[in-house]
Amino acid sequence: MARMAGRRTLSAVPVLLAVTFGVFAVAALSPFDPVKAYAGTAGLTASQAQLDQLRANLGADRPFPARWWDWLASALTGDLGDSAVMRQPVADVIAERLGWSALLAGSAFAVAVLLGTLLGVLAARRQGGALDRAASGLAYTLEAAPAFWLGLLAVWFFSVRLGLLPSGGLTDAADDTVTLSGAATHLVLPALVLGVSQLPWFFLYVRQGVADALAEDPVRGARARGLSERRVLLGHGLRSGMLPVLTLIGSRVPELITGALLVETVFSWPGIAAATVTAATSVDFPLLAALTVLATAAVLVGNLLSDLLYGLADPRVGFDG
């Protein structure tokens, strides 16, 4: 197990190098101009000489392999560089925002996994029953619904119609301090929306997996031997039925990151997602590279995690990869 984790970590190095190089190349080829992005509306009245000066100051006139190499060299010494578009060190940009995104994504993931699994197991036990039909129908609808649309709907219903929950931000707009209860109430809607938008995947996989497992010979044998329905479900059905879900957990990470992007925008959540879009459209190399490394690492860790869980849950699967 430790060997597998170690080997994966080692193989992550070339992957990360290739991905960051790719990002620099794609960004350099993109039609976006870092100088225009930096200048914003001021660029509309700036002279060409001033724009050229900015280009030189920002280093935007240098070829991308050189910029990539410089970035890599300083990143390895721990200096992630300065973000041009945010006007502050990249490390500060990430430190300010990453925690909030992780909180949002983590809560949403918990909602999706727990609720999806619970509903899936219940639906699988009585396939074709009322609960199964209602939940499946809802799942297909949700799968088709974009996360930002769900967000607007939730704001309209819970904030405007019912006045129950705040519709955006991390705290009440007039509050300066972030309190546990304040952040918790503000987290509810975005986490629910993001979680619910991910839920259909887990629900559908669990439902199918558990239903298949319940139809297998060992389960029928167990039932025939008179084992309690509870033992059958927990001991046999869940154990083999849940395996696909473990793989799913890892593979849903990228989807979760893109979903968070839309949800963060709708709810003015001060996370990293908005910064990612800004970094990309402004060709802000240092920030973009750091965020890409983070996102890639998240995906790699997600995959590793699901493989480890898989190995733990099913003794037949080894850790050799």
Using CB under 8 A as the binding rule, the residues of this chain from 65 to 84 that contact another protein are 78-80, 82-84
Classified as helix, coil or strand, 249 is helix
Alpha-carbon gap, residue 157 to 159, rounded angstroms: 6
> Among 92, 40, 95, which residue's Cα sits nearest to residue 281?
40
DSSP letter, residue 161: I
Please report whether residue 16 would count as binding another protein according to CB under 8 A.
Answer: no
Please report whether residue 103 would count as binding another protein according to CB under 8 A.
Answer: yes
Helix (H), strand (E) at residue 82? strand 82-83
Alpha-carbon gap, residue 35 to 43, rounded angstroms: 8
Alpha-carbon gap, residue 187 to 201, rounded angstroms: 22
Q: How far is the CB of 273 from another protein (least distance, A)?
A: 9
Pick the closer one to another protein by CB: 293 or 313.
293
Q: Which of 21, 50, 127, 143 binds another protein (CB under 8 A)?
A: 50
Alpha-carbon gap, residue 121 to 245, rounded angstroms: 12
Q: Which of 48, 63, 315, 320 binds another protein (CB under 8 A)?
A: 48
Classified as helix, coil or strand, 200 is helix
Pick the closer one to another protein by CB: 282 or 306.
282
Please report whether residue 97 would count as binding another protein according to CB under 8 A.
Answer: yes
Please report whether residue 297 would count as binding another protein according to CB under 8 A.
Answer: no
Alpha-carbon gap, residue 62 to 282, rounded angstroms: 16
Per-position x/- string for 221-260, each x denoting binding to another protein as judged by CB under 8 A, each - no binding:
----------------------------------------
Q: How far is the CB of 38 from another protein (least distance, A)?
A: 7
Please report whether residue 46 would count as binding another protein according to CB under 8 A.
Answer: yes
206 and 117 Cβ atoms separated by less than 8 Å: yes
- Six token digits for residue 1: 């197990």
Number of residues binding to another protein, judged by CB under 8 A: 78
Q: Taking CB under 8 A as the criterion, which residues in 274-293 touch another protein? A: 274-275
Q: Taking CB under 8 A as the criterion, which residues in 194-223 touch another protein? A: none
Q: Which of 253, 256, 266, 304 binds another protein (CB under 8 A)?
A: 266
> Among 293, 199, 282, 284, which residue's Cα sits nearest to residue 245?
199
Pick the closer one to another protein by CB: 168 or 235.
168
